[in-house]
Structure 1
C-alpha cells in the first residue's frame, strides 16, 4: 500500500471514528441521565434530559441540530487529540478514553463558558456526566480508528 493511500485510509478512519463516536456519546449522555433520574433526590431536570431524545426522533431537524452542534463544539479539541495519537502512534484504549472525556468536557465549557465559576453542584454533575459520555465516545473511537493509530506504516505493510 502506498504512503498516500495509507494516509488517506487513516484520515477516513479518523473521520468515521469521530462521527460514530459523537453519535454513541450522545446516546451515552441520554442513558446516563435516564439512569441517574431514577436515583432518590435526583434533580428534576434529569427526568427531562432522559426523555429529550423522543423530541429528537419526533422532530428530526432538532436531532440533526444537536448532532451538528456537538460536532462543532468538540471538533477542535478532538482534532488535536486525534493528530497527537496518529503522529505518535498512540494505541492505548485508556488514553483515547481520556482524550474523549477531555474533548467532551471542553465542548461543554465552550457551550457554557461560565460553568467553571458556577457553584451549583448540578452544573458539576453535568460536567461529570458529559465527561463520562466522552469516555464512552473515546472507547468507540479507539475501536474504530485508534487501535491502528499511526500515520507511519508498520514494516509488515511496506
Structure 2
C-alpha cells in the first residue's frame, strides 16, 4: 500500500473514530446526568437530562437530531485537533482525552455563548467536558493509537 493508501486509511479511521466517539460521548452525558440527579440538592433539570436517552430511543428522529447536532457543533474543533494529532503523530491517550474535552466544551459554548459567565451553567460545562474525556478515549482506542499520516519505517 502506497503513501496515498495509508493517508486514505488514516482519514477513514479518523472519521470512524469520531462518529463512534460522538455516540459514546452522548451516552456518557446522559449517564453522568443520571448519576448526578440522584445526589442530594441536584438541580431539577438533571432528572430530565438523565431521561433524554430513553426519549431518544423511543423517538428515533429525536435521537438522530441530537446526534447530528452534536456532530455539527463539535466537528470543526475535532477536525482541527485530529489533524494536529495526525500531522505530529501524537499518540498519547491523555492528549486525545484533553482534545475531546476541549471539543465538547467548545461545542457547548456554541449553544450557550455566555455559559462561562453564568454560574448556573458551570456544572453543565464540567459534565460536557467529562463526557468529552470519555469520547476522546474512545477516539484514541479507534484511531489515535496509530496516529500519523507518515508511514512507520518498520513494522505494520
Deviation at 1:157, TM superposition (A): 5.3
Query: Tell me, which stretches of 5 or more residues in structure 2 are unaligned?
Result: none
Aligned to 2:7: 7
Q: Give 3-state SS (helix, strand or coil) of 1:113's partner.
A: coil
Partner of 2:109 in structure 1?
A: 109
Quote the offset at 1:110 in angstroms: 0.4
Residue equivalent to 2:129: 131
Report the Cα offset of residue 118 of structure 1. 1.3
After the TM superposition, which residues 33-112 of structure 1 pair with which residues of structure 2 at under 5 Å, given as runs?
33-112=33-112
Q: CA deviation at 1:145?
A: 0.1
Cα deviation, 1:83-112, whole Å, max 9, x if unaligned, reads 000000000000000000000000000011
Partner Cα separation in structure 2 for residue 25 and residue 53 of structure 1: 12
Superposition TM-score, scaled by structure 2 size: 0.98
Q: Which moved more, 1:63-72 or 1:107-116?
A: 107-116
* CA-atom RMSD in angstroms: 1.0
Question: Post-superposition shift, 1:53?
Answer: 1.0
* Ranges of 4+ aligned residues in structure 1 off by more than 4 Å: none
Q: Which has the higher helix share?
A: 1
Q: TM-score, normalised by structure 1?
A: 0.97
Unaligned runs of 5+ in 1: none
Matched residue SS, 1:114: coil
Q: Give 1:119 deviation, angstroms.
A: 3.0
Secondary structure in 1 aligned to 2:115? Answer: helix
Q: Secondary structure at the match of 2:154?
A: helix
* Per-residue deviation, residues 54-79 of structure 1 (Å, max 9, x unmatched): 11111100000000000000000000
- Report the counterpart of residue 153 of structure 1 in structure 2: 151
Aligned residues: 156
